[in-house]
Chains A and B, each alone.
Chain A
Amino acid sequence: MASEIKQGTLELVNHLPILQVITPMLIAPILVVLNNKTLSWLLSFLGALACLFISILLIQAVSDGSILTYYLGGWVPPIGIEYRIDAANAILLFLISIISTIVLIFSYSSLHAEIPEEKHTLFYSCFLLCLTGLLGVVATADIFNVFVFLEISSLSTYVLVAQGAYLDRRALSASFNYLIMGTIGATFFVIGIGYIYMATGSLNMMDIAERVNQLSDNRTIQAGFAFIVVGMGLKLAMVPLHVWLPNAYTFAPTVVTCFLAATATKVALYVLIRFVFSVFNYEDSFVNELFFLLLMPLAVIAMIAASVIAIFKQNLKKLLAYSSLAQIGYMLLGLSLMNQKGLASSLVHMVNHGFTKAALFMSLGAFMLKTKNVYIKSLRGLGKSMPFTSAAFVIGGLSLIGVPGTAGFISKWLLLEAALETGYWLVAILIIASSLFAVIYIWKIIEVLYFSESSEAYNEVSVLTLMPIWILALFCIFLGINTSLTVDVANMATEILFK
């Protein structure tokens, strides 16, 4: 594995890590100054597109196993802040960028229905800040910087969720609830960072990793780690710290739900992965026991319980939100198996589920544009009047179930293989049980779409709305057939993380 570190020259590739993060950050205030809603949309879209372009360049640069670093302001770590891109975060950067680009295409038509026009500029500005935060969390190698970006993304997320209040006032309490929980999570996280700083005197991940190795069985470090796990557990909606998620997803505007469901929880999980492997010692018995005794059971409970709850939900956004909780369970499970295959399955599922859930939420959003309703009954017979949106929903649903030929199958296959390799037969059976529950709740919707008579006739949504939905749906199939983007990069990432 080539593990060269590039630094110091003026070539563009060396500045990509920072460009990735600051592009949306620089555009955000410009929008507020311009205060024109069409221009805001256009600039946000171009910004996201630039991010996507950069993330593709980054993935190409690191796909051979090399690592790109960037010292902020030229200050050498551990004094200065370091950005560090390897295969593990490059793939996350790609996911975040592409989802934000696709979501922004969708927002052009859907935002009018949900938010008053004078608020659009501020909405896009917040959206870009949220994007900045998520990208920053992933790109940085400085643990305090992680906290800062996490807060940037969280604060803007609270605002974005609250925008749903123009349709349903309950968005306000959902957002408030999320604010309280999210802040508690952030507090835990920053306390954890404090402990680590106390014990090691450093904030740079690589630097801490070296020092932690010398301080084996240090109580302060262990307490810090526990705080970080709980803090991130809240952010990634690990059962039983998940209570904020269903309402936040349900009442946020569709655009926000799509974006959050596809990216936000994954970023929190990424932080957890990064801390376990690049900051702490994953071979440490404390870390291992924590994952084995605590996180694995919680992940399995999420997988089963959330799927069962989803079956009984009539509000479709809530149904998909609970399904997200179950899918987060899969990712957490892959991580808690603590082997290469498990971690790879976790990373692959982040990407696959990102596309799948975004496709589902977005086609649901398209239905809502027409029916103005999120309850399952309102979808009656839409399979006939909105054939393209319905077909995309079916593809997303099949991918969620994990039917072969779709993205979801790949991640499930890897996860099952990892569980068998570890010898956890029961876990493998429970994974399968959970996908059977997914069959039930997805099929419930498909049946209503295609096999019941509609009371009202609706037209298909515009081409501009269909395009992002279908890009996502095609990704669900593409990633199920060609896995060079997901599995190969994830394998490269696990090799780096497990070194």
Chain B
Amino acid sequence: MPIEFLIFLTVFSPAFVGGLNLIFSKKPNVRDTVTLLGALITFYFSVNIFLGFDGQATQYKLATIMPGIDISFHIEPLGIIFSLLASGLWILTHIYAIGYMRGAKEKNHSRFFFFFSVSIASVMGISFSGNLFTLFLFYEILTLITFPLVSHKGSTEALRGARVYLSILLGTSIGLQLLGIIWVYFSVDTLDFVKGGILKGSFGSFELILLVGLFAFGIGKAALFPFHRWLPAAMVAPTPVSALLHAVAVVKAGVFTVLKVGVYIFGVDSLSVSGATDWLTWLACFSILFASLIAMTKDNLKARLAYSTISQLAYVVLAFSLANSLGVLGGALQIVTHAFGKITLFMCAGSIYVATKKTNISDMRGLGKVMPITFLSFLIGAISIIGLPPMGGSWAKWFLLLSSLEADKQFVVLVLLISSLLNIAYLLPLVAKGFYLNPINQTEIKSFTEPSALVWLPPAITAGISFLLFFYVGYIRDFMINFGLVS
């Protein structure tokens, strides 16, 4: 199959599946099976793109909006990694979502699965975007499509959260990112992603700093301080949404965009020469520590995970700001390993909620004894996030450390170490409480068991993959090096 057709299929099939969700809305079993098949097919297409990729950065033009502004796609290593990640995790999340939505007795399943599928379609569009305009198009679609998911419960609280979500994401993207895009187009007359960047010295050093700012803040999905507030606000969504969208698809679309703009618009080398991202290194470091500190104060498990996500996303922004090959490698690995780690944590949180309706960490004493698989999965995910061996997350931190040394920014090393310690301090107490402390209410605890396998199995699988990534991370590295993304 020609590769441009495959791209079209990966973008189109989730959207098509979304449509089927509406058609089969009266038959839940048919609907959920069809969606599962759709997820498998999408993943299959992504794998085929990965296998068929020959390193050629050809632009596949779909339509020309105005002279110079096209909807076009191209294939490059970062996009392949991101599409594999999102479509692969979609399969697991979908299985989980079936169990969760039924277990937690949420309403409006068809609407939920429709928007869920369409948001995956826009994520696929983001990963294969061939220019900034196409990326921006799918980025905005993703924002709008996920709004109904965040506000799914329809309660006042959910609406308020969703409003914060929408206003920050649309506000930053229209207010800052669009301005940056137009500025780039106005200055160099193209928006295509080209390796090594397209700016070619047409920006002065101060202008470059401004442009970096427009993108770093304008890509609100990367949740860089001070535009991070939407992420905790979006936690009102049902847990599968938080798991896939706010640990993988949406936030990763943000940091993916940051990396992509860094590599293909600015160009890593010219960024590091100009030093335009030095200030961003400081801000990212601040964001890492600040969000970790806030996370420690949160008793609500999902809120704590949300702040942990903000902190972990700033690692990728940090990677961009370090502006060297090792940084890009570390950033890409962080996207992958954090996705598996964080989705595990979120799914465990949802699993606890389905089984016990508990959301606060202080209430979860002793639960580990009745839900051992969930708590073990949580432990593995947490270790991967912290960055300890033998979990995949440790490699991302490793390359980031190397990268900061290469960029001659030793203080970053210190920040990364402190951050890991903070991660330990706010992620592991839950596991400790679950396994070692005695529950307050002995009789109540006996009535809890693991929820259905649909709910506890997916986090166990993702935890397993986090573990495997520790050993197989070399493949990702080789893949990126072979296709010249990093050297």
Please tell me if the beta carbons of A402 and B182 are within 8 angstroms of each other in the complex: no
B175–A480 touching, CB < 8 Å? no
**Within 8 Å of chain A (Cβ to Cβ): is B418?**
no
B266 located at the interface, meaning its Cβ lies under 8 Å from any Cβ of chain A in the complex = no
**Which residues of B144-195 have CB atoms within 8 Å of chain A's CB atoms?**
144, 148, 151, 154, 159, 163, 166-167, 170-171, 174-175, 178-179, 182-183, 185-186
Q: Is the CB of B174 within 8 A of A439?
A: yes
Interface residues of A in 371-404 (CB under 8 A from B): 398, 401-404
**Cβ–Cβ contact A398 & B136, under 8 A:** no
B137 part of interface (Cβ distance < 8 Å): yes
Judging by beta carbons under 8 Å apart, are B174 and A436 in contact?
Answer: yes
Q: Among A58-66, A77-85, A149-157, A427-435, which stretch is in contact with chain B?
A: A427-435
Please tell me if the beta carbons of A404 and B137 are within 8 angstroms of each other in the complex.
Answer: yes
If the complex has contacts A417-B185, A417-B186, A447-B159, are A410 and B171 also in contact, measured as CB distance less than 8 A?
A: no
Give every chain B residue within 8 A of A451 (Cβ-Cβ).
151, 154, 159
- Expressed in whole angstroms, the Cα–Cα distance for A433 and B175 within the complex equals 7
Task: Name the residue on B nearest A402 (C-beta).
Answer: B174
Given that A417-B186, A420-B182, A487-B66 are contacting pairs, would A403 and B175 also be in contact in the complex, using a CB cutoff of 8 Å? no
Determine whether A413 belongs to the interface, using a CB cutoff of 8 Å to chain B: yes
A38 at the interface (CB under 8 A from B): no
Check A439/B66 contact, CB under 8 A, given A428-B179, A447-B159: no
A483 contacts chain B at the CB level, 8 A cutoff = yes
Say yes or no: is A297 at the interface (Cβ < 8 Å to chain B).
no
Q: For residue B157, give the distance in angstroms from its CB to the closest CB of chain A.
A: 12
B140 interfacial contact with A, CB 8 Å:
yes
Residues of A within 8 A of B148 (CB): 450
> Is B179 a contact partner of A429 (Cβ separation < 8 A)?
yes
Residues of chain A within 8 A (CB-CB) of B65 are 410, 480-483
Question: Does A405 interact with chain B (Cβ within 8 Å)?
Answer: yes
Do A420 and B186 contact each other (CB < 8 Å), given the known contacts A405-B141, A450-B148? yes
User: Is A404 touching B170 in the complex (CB atoms < 8 A)?
Assistant: no
- Name B171's closest neighbour in chain A (CB-CB): A436
A417 touches B179 (CB 8 A): no
CA–CA, A398 and B174, complex, Å: 12
Within 8 Å by CB of B163, from A403, A436, A447, lies A447
* Most A CB within 10 A of own CB, among B136, B174, B178, B186: B174
Residues of chain B contacted by A414 (CB below 8 angstroms):
66
- B166 CB contact (under 8 Å) in A405, A433, A443: A443
Flag if B154 contacts A404 (CB, 8 Å). Answer: no
Bound together, the chains give a CA A405 to CA B137 distance in angstroms of 7
Residues on A with beta carbons closer than 8 Å to the beta carbon of B144:
398, 403
Q: Is B453 an interface residue (CB 8 A)?
A: no
Provide the bound-state CA to CA distance between A482 and B179, in Å: 23
Contact A404–B133 (Cβ < 8 Å): yes
Q: Does A319 contact B (CB under 8 A)?
A: no
Q: Point out the residues of chain A lying under 8 angstroms from B186, CB to CB.
A: 417, 420-421
Q: Which residues of A contact B179 (CB under 8 A)?
A: 416, 428-429, 432
CB distance from B11 to the nearest CB of A (A): 14
Say how far A40's CB is from chain B's closest CB, in angstroms. 41
Q: Distance in Å from the Cβ of A373 to the closest Cβ of chain B?
A: 22
A164 to chain B, nearest CB (A): 34
Complex Cα spacing A57 to B148, Å: 44
In the assembled complex, which residues on chain B have CB atoms less than 8 Å from the CB atom of A403?
A: 140, 144
| CB-based nearest B residue for A438 | B174
By a CB distance below 8 angstroms, the chain B residues around A440 are: 167
Task: List residues of B (53-74) whose CB comes within 8 Å of A's CBs.
Answer: 63, 65-66, 69, 71
Report yes or no: A439 in contact with B170, Cβ–Cβ below 8 A.
yes
CB within 8 Å of A: which B378-410 residues: none
Report the minimal beta-carbon distance from B87 to chain A, rounded to whole angstroms. 23
Which positions 416-460 of chain A face chain B at CB distance < 8 Å? 416-417, 420-421, 428-429, 432-433, 435-436, 439-440, 443, 447, 450-451, 453
Q: Which residues in B have their C-beta under 8 angstroms from that of A398? A: 144
Inter-chain contacts of B63 with A (CB < 8 A): 481-482
State the CA gap A238–B186 with chains docked (Å). Answer: 29
CB contacts (< 8 Å) of A453 on chain B: these are 154
Residues on A with C-beta less than 8 A from B66 are 410, 413-414, 483, 487
Task: State whether B182 touches A435 (Cβ < 8 A).
Answer: no
Is the CB–CB distance between A436 and B175 below 8 Å?
yes
Residues of B at under 8 Å CB distance from A? 63, 65-66, 69, 71, 133, 136-137, 140-141, 144, 148, 151, 154, 159, 163, 166-167, 170-171, 174-175, 178-179, 182-183, 185-186
The 7 closest A-B pairs by CB, nearest first: A404-B137, A420-B186, A416-B182, A483-B66, A487-B66, A432-B175, A439-B170
**8 new A-B pairs (CB below 8 Å) besides A405-B141, A439-B166?**
A429-B179, A432-B175, A436-B175, A439-B167, A443-B167, A447-B159, A447-B163, A480-B65
24 cross-chain CB contacts under 8 A: A401-B170, A401-B174, A403-B144, A404-B133, A410-B65, A413-B66, A413-B182, A414-B66, A416-B178, A417-B186, A420-B182, A428-B179, A432-B175, A435-B174, A439-B166, A440-B167, A443-B163, A443-B166, A450-B148, A451-B151, A453-B154, A481-B63, A481-B71, A482-B65
